[in-house]
A and B are shown apart, each in its own frame.
Chain A
Amino acid sequence: MGTAVSAEPERARAEDFERTIAADERIEPRDWMPDAYRATLIRQIAQHAHSEIIGMQPEANWITRAPSLRRKAILIAKVQDEAGHGLYLYGAAETLGASRAELLGKLHTGRHKYSSIFNYPTLTWADVGAIGWLVDGAAITNQVPLCRCSYGPYARAMVRICKEESFHQRQGYELLHALARGTGAQRAMAQDAVDRWWWPSLMMFGPPDDASPRTAQSMAWKIKRHTNDELRQRFVDICVPQAEALGLTLPDRDLRWNEERGHWDFGAVDWDEFRAVLAGEGPCNEQRLDQRRRAHEEGAWVREAAAAYAAKHPAGAAR
């Protein structure tokens, strides 16, 4: 292919891309897109998928100990949904030319990250509620704007995922509500969980805007619609009245209503902790990756068997 011939169509395609973004229309898999746009999306979607998969672990930790059959069913269904979300998202990433196996490989070798929040341990049953209310709540605040993301397959995956996430979030809130209205021990369990999960949830929005180098480009491409700090503020404003309704406190002495801004002021996030967790030094980083790698390695013979069977029985293997 001569470059002289392709230069002109290349420029036309780039202009077309810019026009599509400017008009708030969607980029689809067969459309031309800048390499950096493709790479950014693959990384973001894959890390989102990895977060769903690793995020199964802290909650699955309580499935076998759930205190009622109704709660157990809700929790199994939720963890199942997370596996499903991981599948949609790997599917969306594959429309950009990546493969699930390659992306999982990057997760397993630590070249890709997943949400910092899942490196915290679930120590009591109330943590399941705190994860639903705060962690899913933060995820929804982050993800609702992604339903308008410029890349079509990602935006459509987010529409489906956000519906299920809102359902999980309400269930988590309802779980905490039952504990907060329960016995003294249950109420203490709920408060302790909120105390441990509040700050890590605020960290889910990522570093502050002045330390988030990729934000400007992602906003220009309309992958991202709001800055980290805007979304974090929105989340705090939503949570404060919800905590009051639960009769639980948020562990921040600097939390107060700012009449002038029309927002809740809140204290400083411990960014040293955030960086340490992202760098692999959080309480459960090793455990989470080890479990994921072990499931993959111990399942290798099963995947090989399925492939061998499919090769022997090409007609009967489709499922």
Chain B
Amino acid sequence: MTAPALTESEREAALALGDDALILSHRLAEWAGHAPVLEEEVALANLALDLLGQARALLSLAGDEDELAFRRDARDFRNLQLVEQPNGDFAHTVVRQLFHATWQELLYAQLAAGGGPFAAIAAHAAPETRYHRDHAVTWTLRLGDGTAESHARTGRAVRALWRFTGELFEPVPGLAGTDPGGLRAAWTERVTETLRAATLPVPEAPPPPTAWSAGGGRRGIHTEPFGRLLAEMQHLHRSHPGAAW
């Protein structure tokens, strides 16, 4: 594929969004064979596949998809720290999905409308992001307003993942016509509405990322579990330099 020439900041933006999709897809695919019910084997794989498709489209805009996925080190990845967080229990996975999909749906709607190099990919992905959010909302309601145990687990997941939500609203240079910071109000309103409907406590406003707290993903600062994710993902590819698969 001959990619249209991107500016340097557009290329960074393609990596940021492409890495988000790649890494979240990887985490979701780790569920294969472990889901709580067969229907969720299908659903989680479906989410993972959608995201992998988005990752491939975005990374291909920035360069060679496999070179970028398998031959960069952790410091060169630009994904949000949120998406690299380990799956934890099903509630943890659902809440991570809720936070990400709500953000992605808003962002991709803007991108699709904004023209620019990502408009076509975002337009293609928009129905997927709606389905992902719908899936996450449905399960947040069931788990939050299900049993005492599911309520407690989901509350813990919200508290544990909340500190990674500030970075969702960091500016991403190169995303023409969009402003992640401007999504904060709509994101907070939607997430709050879902958490309330799920009878879950709503945390305070998302914390702004600082150098020492969660939120350095866009600058290549990641959390400890990320290195192991890459070690597993890249091992085979790196063991056979130059091989075609």
Q: Do A and B come from one complex?
A: yes
**Closest approach, in angstroms, between the C-beta of A64 and any C-beta of chain B?**
5
Quick check: is A3 within 8 A (CB to CB) of the other chain?
no
Bound-state CA distance A305–B37 (Å) is 12
Task: State whether the Cβ of A79 lies closer than 8 Å to any Cβ in chain B.
Answer: yes
Q: Which of B130-181 contact A (CB under 8 A)?
A: 138, 141-143, 145-147, 149-150, 153
Binds B, one of A26-34, A55-63, A138-146, A277-285: A55-63
B56 touches A63 (CB 8 A): no
Interface flags for A118-130 (1: CB within 8 Å of B; 0: not) read 0000000100000
Distance, CA A87 to CA B37, complexed state (A): 10
| Contact between chains at B66 and A68 (CB < 8 Å) | yes
Q: Is A86 on the interface with B (CB-CB < 8 A)?
A: yes
Tell me if B143 and A305 are in contact (CB < 8 A): yes
Q: Using Cβ atoms and an 8 Å threshold, which residues of chain A touch B143? A: 302, 305, 309
Q: What is the predominant secondary structure among interface residues of chain A facing chain B?
A: helix
- Are B146's CB and A76's CB within 8 A? no
Shortest beta-carbon distance from B40 to chain A in Å? 8
Give Cα A72–Cα B141 distance, bound, in whole angstroms.
Answer: 32
Given A291-B34, A302-B150, A303-B37, are A73 and B49 also a contact pair (CB < 8 Å)?
yes
- Find out whether the CB atom of A186 lies under 8 angstroms from the CB atom of B42: no
Q: How far is the CB of B149 from chain A (nearest CB, A)?
A: 5
Interface residues of A in 91-139 (CB under 8 A from B): 125
Q: Please, which residues of chain A bring their CB within 8 A of the CB of B70?
A: 67-68
B142 touches A56 (CB 8 A): no
Q: Which A residues are CB-close (under 8 A) to B89?
A: 298
| Secondary structure of the B contact surface, majority rule | helix
Whether B188 sits at the interface, judged by CB under 8 Å, is no
Nearest B residue to A185 via CB reads: B240
Which residue of chain A lies nearest to B146 when distances are taken between CB atoms in the complex?
A: A305
A248 shortest CB reach to chain B, Å: 17
Is there a chain A Cβ closer than 8 Å to B244's Cβ?
yes
Question: A79 contacts which of B32, B39, B141 (Cβ < 8 Å)?
Answer: B32
Chain B interface bracket (under 10, 10 to 19, 20 to 34, 35 or more): 35 or more
User: Is B36 within 8 A of A298, CB to CB?
Assistant: yes
Instruction: Check: B53 CB closer than 8 A to any chain A CB.
Output: yes
Q: Does B73 contact A (CB under 8 A)?
A: no
A183 near B240 with CB under 8 A, answer yes
User: Known contacts A87-B42, A302-B90, A302-B150: does B32 contact A76 (CB below 8 Å)?
Assistant: yes
Collect the chain A residues with CB atoms within 8 Å of residue B243's CB.
67, 182-183, 185-186
Least distance between B33 CB and chain A CB atoms (Å): 4
Q: In whole angstroms, how far apart are the Cα atoms of A70 and B65 in the complex?
A: 9
Whether the pair A83, B245 counts as a contact (CB closer than 8 A) is no
A312 at the interface (CB under 8 A from B): yes
Query: Is A319 in contact with chain B by the CB < 8 A criterion?
Result: yes
- Which residue on chain A has the smallest CB distance to residue B29? A63
Q: Is B69 an interface residue (CB 8 A)?
A: yes
Question: Which residues of B are at the interface with A, using a C-beta cutoff of 8 A?
Answer: 22, 26, 29-30, 32-42, 45-46, 48-49, 52-53, 55-56, 59, 65-66, 69-70, 89-90, 138, 141-143, 145-147, 149-150, 153, 232-233, 235-237, 240, 242-245
Question: Which residues of A does B touch, CB under 8 Å?
Answer: 53, 56-57, 60, 63-73, 76-77, 79-80, 83-84, 86-87, 90, 125, 175, 178-179, 182-183, 185-186, 291, 294-296, 298-310, 312-313, 316-317, 319
Can you list 30 A-B pairs with a CB-CB distance of less than 8 A?
A56-B41, A63-B30, A64-B30, A64-B232, A68-B66, A68-B237, A69-B59, A70-B56, A71-B245, A73-B53, A76-B49, A76-B52, A79-B32, A79-B33, A79-B41, A80-B32, A83-B41, A182-B244, A183-B242, A185-B243, A294-B34, A295-B35, A300-B36, A301-B149, A302-B143, A307-B146, A308-B146, A309-B145, A313-B145, A319-B138
Question: Which 3 A-B residue pairings sit nearest by Cβ, starting from the closest?
Answer: A299-B36, A305-B146, A305-B150
